[in-house]
Amino acid sequence: MPALSSIALRQALAALAAACLLAGASAATAEPPAPFDPRVTSIARLLAGTESDYPAHARIAALDAWQAHRAAMAPKWARLQRERLSVIETWRNRTLGADAVTCRTLLYPFSGPDFMNAYLLFPRCETYVMFGLEAPGTPPPFETMGGDEAGLYLKDMRVALTDFLERNYFITSRMAKQLHTPHLKGVAPLVLASMGLLDVRVTAVEPFDLGPGSEDARRAGRRARGLKISFWHPQVGKPQTLYYLSLDATDKALRANPEFLPFLAQFGPSVTFLKSASYLLHGNEFADTRAALLDATDLLVQDDTGIPYRYLRARGFEVSLYGRYARPIRDFNYGYQHDLAAAYRTSGKVADLPFPFGYHWQDGHSGLILARGTAKRS
* Domain range list for the chain: 6-267
Q: Looking at the predicted structure, is the pLDDT value of residue 145 above 70?
A: yes
Q: Looking at the predicted structure, is the pLDDT value of residue 272 above 80?
A: yes
Give percent of the chain above pLDDT 70: 87
d(CA 259, CA 254): 9
Residues near 334 by beta carbon (within 8 Å), at least 6 away in sequence = 279, 282, 328
Q: Looking at the predicted structure, is the pLDDT value of residue 298 above 60?
A: yes
d(CA 74, CA 13): 9
Banded model confidence at residue 176, pLDDT cuts 50, 70, 90: confident
Q: Looking at the predicted structure, is the pLDDT value of residue 213 above 50?
A: yes
Res 25: pLDDT? 45
Least confident of 35-44, 135-144, 347-356: 347-356
Q: Looking at the predicted structure, is the pLDDT value of residue 4 above 50?
A: no
Provide the strand spans (E) within 47-188.
105-109, 127-132
Please, are residues 273 and 117 in contact by the beta-carbon 8 Å criterion? yes
Instruction: For residue 276, give the DSSP letter.
Output: S
Q: For the residues 278-296, what does the mean pLDDT come to?
A: 96
Res 268: pLDDT? 86
| Mean confidence (pLDDT) of the chain | 88
Q: Looking at the predicted structure, is the pLDDT value of residue 170 above 80?
A: yes
CA atoms within 13 A on the CB side of 267: 27
Please, are residues 118 and 128 in contact by the beta-carbon 8 Å criterion? yes
Q: For the residues 150-159, what does the mean pLDDT come to?
A: 96
Nearest to residue 205, comparing CAs of 196, 215, 216, 217?
Answer: 196
Q: Looking at the predicted structure, is the pLDDT value of residue 28 above 50?
A: no
Res 330: pLDDT? 82
Please, are residues 323 and 352 in contact by the beta-carbon 8 Å criterion? yes
Banded model confidence at residue 95, pLDDT cuts 50, 70, 90: very high
Residues near 10 by beta carbon (within 8 Å), at least 6 away in sequence = none
Res 377: pLDDT? 38
Least confident of 8-17, 85-94, 98-107: 8-17
CA dihedral for 179, 283, 131, 99, sign (positive or negative) = positive
Residues near 189 by beta carbon (within 8 Å), at least 6 away in sequence = 47, 137, 139, 140, 157
Q: For the residues 123-145, what does the mean pLDDT come to?
A: 96
- Highest mean pLDDT of the ranges 20-34, 53-67, 72-86: 53-67
Banded model confidence at residue 261, pLDDT cuts 50, 70, 90: very high
Res 264: pLDDT? 95
Res 26: pLDDT? 42
Res 27: pLDDT? 41
Q: What does the radius of gyration of the chain's CA atoms come to, in whole angstroms?
A: 20
> Is pLDDT larger for residue 150 or for residue 11?
150
CA dihedral 317, 321, 324, 328 (to 10 degrees): -20
Q: Looking at the predicted structure, is the pLDDT value of residue 16 above 70?
A: no
Res 218: pLDDT? 61
Res 315: pLDDT? 95
Q: What is the pTM of this model?
A: 0.91
Q: For the residues 297-322, what does the mean pLDDT come to?
A: 96
Res 167: pLDDT? 83
Q: Looking at the predicted structure, is the pLDDT value of residue 126 above 70?
A: yes
Res 320: pLDDT? 96
CA atoms within 13 A on the CB side of 378: 9
d(CA 156, CA 149): 11
Res 271: pLDDT? 97
Please, are residues 103 and 271 in contact by the beta-carbon 8 Å criterion? yes
Please, are residues 226 and 136 in contact by the beta-carbon 8 Å criterion? yes
Q: Angle at Cα 287 formed by Cα 283 and Cα 289, nearest 5°?
A: 120
Q: For the residues 286-307, what does the mean pLDDT come to?
A: 96
> What does each C-alpha distance from 312 to 295, 318, 370 come to in angstroms?
11, 8, 10
